[in-house]
Amino acid sequence: MNALEWFRSLLRRALTRRRTVEMSPVRKVRIREEAPTDRFVLIIALMVIFFVGLAALEIVHMVLLGTWNEVVFNGIMLVVGTIVGAVWGRQNG
C-alpha cells in the first residue's frame, strides 16, 4: 500500500458517519455507518496537501526572508476554511 492509498483510507475512516438507529425492544440500537464518497475523500485529501504546501511555503519565506507573508497566510486560511466547511456540512447535512 503506497502513501496515497494509506492517506485516503485514513481520511475515509475519519470521515465515516456513525449514527444510531432505534430498533426493536430486543435490540435497542443499531449503529449505521455511512462512508463518504470517493470524490469527497479526494477533495479533502487535496485540501490537506494544499495546506501542508502553503504552510511549508510560509515557513521557508519566514526563514529565508525573515518576514511574514500575508498573501500565503490568507491562502492557508482559505484552505482551512474550505476543509472545515466541507467536513462540517457533511457531518450535519
Question: 16-30 pLDDT, tens per residue?
Answer: 888 887 777 777 778
- Kind and range of the H or E run holding 47: helix 38-65
Q: Whole-prediction pTM value?
A: 0.75
pLDDT > 90: percent of the chain: 34
pLDDT (mean) for 32-56? 89
pLDDT top residue among 61 and 23: 61
Sign of torsion over alpha carbons 14, 84, 59, 75: positive
